[in-house]
Amino acid sequence: MPEKLRALALSSLLLALSPCVGAQQPPKVARIGMLVNGTPSSHKFFVDEFRQGLRDLGYFEGKNVVVEIRYAEGKLDRLPELARELVGLNVDVISTNATPGSIAAKQATSTIPIVFTGVGDPVEAGLVKSFAKPEGNVTGISVLSPDLGGKRLELIKDAIPGITNVALLWSPSASTAVALNKTQAAADSLHLQLLSLEVRRPADFDTAADSILKNRTGALLTNPSPILSTIRTRVVEFARKNRLPAMYANLQFVESGGLMAYAHSSADQYRRAAAYVDKIFKGAKPAALPVEVPTKVDFVINLKAAKQIGLTIPPNVLARADRVIR
């Protein structure tokens, strides 16, 4: 074989054996870390909604995304360790829920993007510089809504016209003081006595429950709280067992059998968080993504729960509900 033909044949063989330069490379598998305050059961809804949001945007676990989840099981002192664990896994972005986990994630890394949900006031908490310009590696969806406590009181008084006193369960956070002041002011204007009960950890709920029964409280009200969300089933069962009308600050309490809730849609928040993650994967920086505040608030009534405690919801209150569970 002439020299030139041998050289051409060798070149052709090498080209056939080597990868095609223009061929599309396998897509990078994105890694997301989720830091969850509660348990797999208490926060299943939130995690499922986030995953659904990812699927809606074309991210499928086992194909082009991996989601590493760490649960604090309601023990908030574990959050810093779990946050550092996610950072050690070299994830591309961290998704957090509520203020404690978001603060723990920010303390663990200043470079990995962090997307939070369920945070009251992210500015007061030191997570971002401002809502419009976060300036850093953190952004997300805030539920800054201190006025909602007063609206919840108004709705529960309309549902139970003869009520005179209400117990308020709350957990400390960056926006707690403002929310408590607003709720107290609303209680004063509605001529309601407010029994304020702090729940810092799940075990505190037993003490709070004893105080509610001792004071013969007419109704129960909750503030947004990662701790209360973790023990959601316990709180709902306590209200049902003691025939206590309750208004919750989280729609999932009603899904778990609670009476009423007036709150931002948690499903929407977690799907919006997935949209933030998508933008970051496509090159956006958290510092350039303004913090969102949900504008839609849903009022949900569970008539099954009302029947269990012997309560008839007035027609004018039912008419105001966005959704009624029958």
Report the chain's C-alpha Rg in angstroms.
25
Q: The tokens of 180 are what?
A: 């408590």
Whichever domain contains 180, its CATH number is 3.40.50.2300
pLDDT of residue 144: 77
Domain identity same for 202 and 53: no
| Residue 88 placed within a domain | yes
Strand boundaries in the chain, DSSP class E: 30-36, 65-71, 93-97, 114-119, 138-142, 165-170, 193-198, 219-222, 246-248, 260-264, 297-302, 323-325
Tell me the per-residue pLDDT of 224-240, one tens digit each, with 9 for 90 and over.
888 898 899 999 999 99
Q: Closest Cα to residue 249, out of 98, 103, 36?
A: 98
Domain identity same for 129 and 220: no
| Average pLDDT of the segment spanning 55-65 | 96
pLDDT of residue 84: 98
Tell me the per-residue pLDDT of 126-164, one tens digit each, with 9 for 90 and over.
999 999 999 999 999 998 777 899 999 999 999 998 999
Q: Is pLDDT of 6 > 60?
A: no
Domain identity same for 85 and 137: yes
Those residues whose C-beta lies under 8 Å from the C-beta of residue 311, and which sit 6 or more positions away, are 159, 160, 245, 259
pLDDT bin (cut points 50, 70, 90) of residue 27 is low
Domain identity same for 194 and 319: yes
| Average pLDDT of the segment spanning 261-279 | 92
Please give the Cα distance from 303 to 238 (Å, whole number). Answer: 17
Domain identity same for 127 and 41: yes
Domain identity same for 131 and 201: no
| Residue 110 placed within a domain | yes
Quote the percentage of the chain above a pLDDT of 90: 71
Q: Is pLDDT of 9 > 70?
A: no
Q: Print the domain residue range for 117.
A: 30-144+266-295
Q: Is pLDDT of 21 > 90?
A: no
Domain identity same for 287 and 197: no
Does pTM top 0.85 for this prediction?
no
pLDDT of residue 120: 84
Residues β-bridged to residue 274 = none
Q: Are strands 114-119 and 93-97 parallel, antiparallel or unpaired?
A: parallel
Q: Which strands form 323-325's sheet, in the order they lie side by side?
A: 193-198, 165-170, 219-222, 246-248, 260-264, 297-302, 323-325
| Residue 3 placed within a domain | no
pLDDT of residue 32: 98
pLDDT of residue 41: 87
Alpha helices of 89-231 — where are they, by DSSP H? 98-108, 148-159, 176-189, 204-214, 226-230
Q: The tokens of 69 are what?
A: 């989840």
Cβ proximity of 292 and 272 under 8 Å: yes
- Report the mean per-residue pLDDT for the chain: 90
Quote the percentage of the chain above a pLDDT of 70: 91
Range in 8-17, 68-77, 166-175, 233-242 the model is least confident about: 8-17
| Residue 12 placed within a domain | no
Domain identity same for 248 and 128: no
DSSP, res 209 = H
Tell me the per-residue pLDDT of 75-128, one tens digit each, with 9 for 90 and over.
889 999 999 999 999 999 999 988 899 999 999 999 999 999 988 889 988 999
| Average pLDDT of the segment spanning 65-71 | 97
Please give the Cα distance from 35 to 234 (Å, whole number). Answer: 23
Q: Closest Cα to residue 220, out of 248, 246, 238, 196?
A: 246
pLDDT of residue 172: 86
Q: Is pLDDT of 298 > 80?
A: yes
C-beta atoms surrounding 228 within 10 Å: 25
Q: How many domains does the chain have?
A: 2
pLDDT of residue 129: 96
